[in-house]
Structure 1
Amino acid sequence: MRIGEVARRTGVSVRALRYYEEQDLLQAERSSGGQRQYPDSAVDRVHLIQQLFAAGLPSRSVRGVLHCVYSGTVAPGLLDQLESERERISGRITGLLAARERLDDVIATTRNPPSECTHARVLGAPARSAAAS
């Protein structure tokens, strides 16, 4: 399939697909007219690349993971690097979960403030004055 079709099916820009090629993450054959031709498996590969980038892995780590996934062999040092990346991701997840819990608390308190709270219920709404109470 051509580059535009891969882009459409994956939701990734043509520019990003070219970048993946430059980084040796994705390979394409060239037609006689010089157009890129990708195998159907490129769609799944691009989705994996996107997941790995979204997790914050650098291109060199992504390259190593792809090699391992598609060849079944692990380059020396890759396992240690992947374990380190996994720990980093787990730390980010823990931090994001804590931030979400804090936001949940703020939302709940804002929607249903305790009776002793004298602040407005909705952020941005004018506060009630003591004279109006």
Structure 2
Amino acid sequence: MRIGELSRATGTSTRSLRYYEDQGLLSSDRRSNGYREYGEEAVRQVTFIQDLYRAGLPSQIIRDILPCTAPTPPEGECTQLLARVRQVRDELARQEQQIAQRREMLDRYLTGAATPAGIGGQRHCST
């Protein structure tokens, strides 16, 4: 299928598909007229790539993950990769915890239960 067809099938812009190729995440064959030609597995692969991006993984890790999804993944590399993915997940969990703490402090401030550090007295703003 051509790039426009893959774009429609996956809901991904042609610009993103070209970027995926530039990053080594997706490959195509070139026709004699220069058009890109993708195999049927490209739909599944693009969907998977998009899922990994939404999960917060950078291109470098996604590029490393893709061989591990093959029917016969390379030995050893995938184990190390899983450790890297766990690190990304753990960092996201840490960031979520920080955000939750900040949101809680803002909620306490907005309800009058707390004032920002270093500011004494009553709130002078009306809500």
Q: Compute the TM-score of the two structures, normalised by the length of structure 1.
A: 0.66
Distance 1:98 1:121, change over 3 A: farther
> What is the aligned partner in structure 1 of residue 118 from structure 2?
none
List gaps (5 residues or longer) in structure 1.
Answer: 123-133
How far, CA to CA, are the matches of 2:40 and 2:97 in structure 1? Answer: 37
How far, CA to CA, are the matches of 1:72 and 1:43 in structure 2? Answer: 20
Counterpart of 2:87 in structure 1: which amino acid? E
SS in 2 for 1:48: helix
Correspondence 1:82 to 2:86:
no
Q: Is the 8 A contact 2:30 2:37 kept in 1?
A: yes
The size of the alignment, in residue pairs, is 120
Distance 1:8 1:120, change over 3 A: farther
Give the aligned CA root-mean-square deviation in angstroms. Answer: 2.9
Distance 1:87 1:5, change over 3 A: same
Counterpart of 2:57 in structure 1: which amino acid? G
SS in 2 for 1:118: coil
Deviations 1:86-112 (A, max 9, x none): 1232122222233134214414541x3
Whose Rg is larger?
A: 1
Q: Compute the TM-score of the two structures, normalised by the length of structure 2.
A: 0.68
List gaps (5 residues or longer) in structure 2.
Answer: 114-120
- Deviating beyond 4 angstroms after TM superposition, the runs of 4 or more aligned structure 1 residues are none
Q: State, as a whole percentage, how many aligned pairs show the same letter.
A: 30
Correspondence 1:41 to 2:41:
yes
How far, CA to CA, are the matches of 1:46 and 1:21 in structure 2? Answer: 11
Distance 1:41 1:77, change over 3 A: closer
Distance 1:25 1:5, change over 3 A: same
1:91-106 → structure 2 map (5 Å cutoff)? 91-106=91-106
